[in-house]
């Protein structure tokens, strides 16, 4: 049985996860890194990608995260991501559809503001797809 530590996944809107887990793999800017119990204090920014969490029972849970940073201090890992979604809640078909919609939105946007907004969504969605394909 793996030793557990406290892990918190927070997005600006709410706290997604606060639990005792065995291992977390974080998509850091300078490469993925795993965190186990008693990890040294570290602060790292994160890339868009998949964050993997191994629970007490050995099962992996995956989250898509984008923008933010991870912090380990006094044995607690906190990941602060601008966007964090469980992978199980995104399906590829939905994503493809969403990307097509976003592309159309960007193409028929009437003013700069609308176009900017559509392009932002599009970029986000492409990030997700890329990250999922890698996984």
The residues that touch another protein, with contacts defined as CB under 8 A, are: 8, 10-15, 28-30, 33, 40-45, 67-69, 71, 73-74, 78, 80, 82-83, 117, 120
SS3 of residue 55 by DSSP: coil
- Residue 7 burial (CB count, 10 A): 22
- Residue 32 burial (CB count, 10 A): 14
To another protein, the closest distance from the beta carbon of 73 in angstroms equals 6
Specify the residue, 74 or 88, whose C-beta has the smaller distance to another protein: 74
To another protein, the closest distance from the beta carbon of 94 in angstroms equals 18
Distance CA 105, CA 17 (A): 33
At 23, list the tokens.
């291992």
Specify the residue, 11 or 23, whose C-beta has the smaller distance to another protein: 11
């Amino acid at each position: 049985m793996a030793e557990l530590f406290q892990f918190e996944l927070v997005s600006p809107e709410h706290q997604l996860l606060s639990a005792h887990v065995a291992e977390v793999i974080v998509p850091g800017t300078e490469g993925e890194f795993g965190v186990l119990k008693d990890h040294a204090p570290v602060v790292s920014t994160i890339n868009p990608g998949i964050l993997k969490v191994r629970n007490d029972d050995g099962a992996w849970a995956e989250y898509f995260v984008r923008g933010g940073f991870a912090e380990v201090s006094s044995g607690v890992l906190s990941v602060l991501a601008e966007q964090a979604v469980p992978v199980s809640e995104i399906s590829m078909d939905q994503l493809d559809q969403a990307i097509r919609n976003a592309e159309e939105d960007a193409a028929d946007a009437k003013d700069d503001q609308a176009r900017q907004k559509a392009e932002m969504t599009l970029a986000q969605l492409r990030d997700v797809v890329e990250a999922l394909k890698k996984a």
